[in-house]
A and B are shown apart, each in its own frame.
Chain A
Amino acid sequence: MRHGFAFALATAILLVVPIEAAARPPAQQASGLPRTPDAKPNLQGIWQVLNTANELPYRPEALSKKRQNFENRATADPDSKGYLLGVPRIMYMPFPFQIFQTPDYVGMTFEYGGAYRTIYTNGTPHLKGPLNFWMGDSRGHWEGDTLVVDVVHFTDETWFDRAGNFHSEGLHLVERFTLADPDHINYEVTIEDPAVFTRPWKMSMPLYRRKERNVQLLEYDPGLLSDQDQAERERKKTN
């Protein structure tokens, strides 16, 4: 039920393409975009993706782990355990998220798990590692009208999807957020993880502005719900 909205509207728009093949259009100052007081494209608002997925360039030795993850997905998937899902998965879960911008930070809050991301746009470098953050360490800058975010310092406990696609701690992401028009962001993420994949690969998908009147994020906390389920089971057992 909770995925019903996405499934009903799902179209296969998630592209996996070799990085060399994806020619990048030159950065351009599109006119007519909503802008913040400091003239950056105004990405603020509530957004959501409508997606499904396909095949990745695994190293041969990593494929067995992927298959094992797939077989155990009902219990091993971080989603089924209520963990923070990490980046980029949190960006394409079928739940809304909200973007906030100040000159120094881009904040993102997610209905899923009450998660948040802080993208530092204040020119600071990544923290000195080693560090393991579920949501990574995100440092961004503007290239023309595109917000480019470099993310490192991950754990190896998050997956890309329910199918068990995975990464190591060495995951390195470059995300590109481009406001195509007032209601669409083109979201592109390059995934680099030499321990798991033979070459970098890329996902690209539109993020859609949620336009319902009075739309807002509420709470979906699977970790808390699983505790609640457990409490409920115990209550029934003792009664």
Chain B
Amino acid sequence: MKDRYVLVVIALIVIITSSWAAAQQPTPGTVGGCPTEPLAFHLCALDKAKTFNPPRTPSGKPNLQGHYRARLAQSYSFEGVSGSEPQFGAKIMPWSLSPPMIVDPPDRKIPYQPWAASIGRVGENYYKYLDPRTGCAQAGVPRVVQQDPNQILQPPTDDYILWLFEDHHMQRVINMNQRPPLGDSIKLYNGYSRGHWDGNTLVIDVTNLNGYDWLDDAGNFHTDAAHIVERLTLFDPDTIHYQVTLEDPKAYTRPWTIVWALVRQKQPGFELMEEPCREGEHDAKRIIRELGVKYYFGESWRGH
């Protein structure tokens, strides 16, 4: 009887770990007809976008509306997963090899200033602080865009675009009405988003960030001086080329750019569910105590 129980447990472990491993494999085939290596995807998608005529809203704007899910993105690190990462092949929450999502600079690393490199990149943040998202904070920009499905709404009045996310029940209001920027002293978790159309591309300019979020699980970060520019371009009927350029004179030596794909969710009746996390991570106190970590709130970069 006891043996049978052990066998069931082993079988379950095999099933769980093998399905996990399958989920972590590099994406085979193509996305939107483009290769799956992020830099190759980037070049291919932008090339296709030159000749693709996107569907239009009644007022003639590109119609991005629909439900999407991220592809060619992994949440571990924008710099990719190499064989030397602590979580590579780990027993719990293992990651497999994955290429960098960074397409610029050419070395495909975050161009940190020297003091900042040891904080991000599986450094001080990773070991000394609780990942803010683990503590139920919203994932922030752009991290939320690669978590769970999202939905883009374009009211026909063209004054706003509403971007809804399942992950931690986050919403972003993109101001399309030429509003002036907010004052520098206002700092927001998800920043202040102003958008405009550059040809067929939706460009979102994000300012007023408080730097309390992380970019990925590895603790890569920006400060409250960050400025983020997102570019969303449909390059086939169901695939958006999603490009994010981050600049932060406090933490980086130059702007840098990441790219992934947003793929339309076409299952009939697809809707966002509710995953709010406002009730908090009930184990946060235990995790903090057992790992000897602290709440983040930008503590590692403050004062630099």
Contacts and interface: CB of A to CB of B under 8 A. Distances in A.
A214 B276 CA distance: 29
Given A36-B156, A84-B169, A234 B58 contact: no
B189 A42 contact: no
B155 A101 contact: yes
B135 interface: yes
A90 B59 CA distance: 33
A231 B294 CA distance: 7
A83 B279 contact: yes
Interface in A99-145: 100-103, 105, 107, 109, 113-116, 118, 120, 124, 127, 133-135
A107 B189 CA distance: 21
A44 interface: yes
Interface secondary structure of B, over-half rule: loop
Interface stretch (A17-25, A193-201, A218-226): A218-226
B297 A114 contact: no
Interface string B290-303: 00001101000000
A219 B213 CA distance: 14
Contacts of A127: 271
B173 A218 contact: no
B186 interface: yes
Contact of A105 (B153, B274, B295): B153
B225 interface: no
A221 B135 CA distance: 14
B134 to A, nearest CB: 11
A9 B241 CA distance: 48
B205 to A, nearest CB: 15
Contact of A44 (B157, B189, B279): B157
Interface secondary structure of A, over-half rule: loop
Contacts of B284: 227
Contact-residue bracket for chain B? 35 or more
A134 B275 CA distance: 9
B278 A223 contact: yes
B96 interface: no
Contact of A37 (B137, B156, B164, B188): B156
Interface string B127-162: 000000001111000000000000101111101101
Interface string A84-95: 100000000000
A109 B271 CA distance: 17
Given A37-B58, A116-B171, A221-B189, A227 B280 contact: yes
A218 B273 CA distance: 24
A36 B276 contact: no
Interface in A67-83: 81-83
A55 interface: no
Contacts of A178: none
Contacts of A64: none
Given A100-B153, A134-B274, A109 B173 contact: yes
Contacts of A102: 65, 153-156
Q: Give the most central of A83, A84, A114, A218: most B CB within 10 Å.
A: A114
A98 B274 CA distance: 19
Contacts of A116: 164, 169, 171
B271 A107 contact: no
A114 B170 contact: yes
Nearest to B274: A133
A135 B171 CA distance: 14
Contact of B160 (A38, A100, A124, A135): A100
Given A107-B164, A227-B280, A98 B173 contact: yes
A227 B154 CA distance: 34
The list of the 10 closest CB pairs from A to B, nearest first, reads A231-B295, A116-B171, A133-B274, A37-B156, A223-B278, A100-B162, A84-B278, A107-B162, A100-B155, A84-B276
Given A219-B188, A227-B280, 11 more contacts: A36-B156, A44-B157, A100-B162, A114-B170, A114-B190, A115-B171, A116-B171, A118-B272, A135-B276, A223-B279, A227-B295
Interface of A: 36-38, 42, 44, 81-84, 98, 100-103, 105, 107, 109, 113-116, 118, 120, 124, 127, 133-135, 214, 216-219, 221, 223-224, 227-228, 230-231, 234
26 contacts: A36-B155, A38-B156, A44-B157, A82-B278, A82-B280, A84-B276, A100-B162, A102-B153, A107-B164, A113-B278, A114-B138, A116-B169, A116-B171, A118-B272, A133-B274, A134-B276, A134-B278, A135-B276, A217-B173, A218-B186, A219-B190, A224-B137, A227-B135, A228-B295, A228-B297, A234-B295
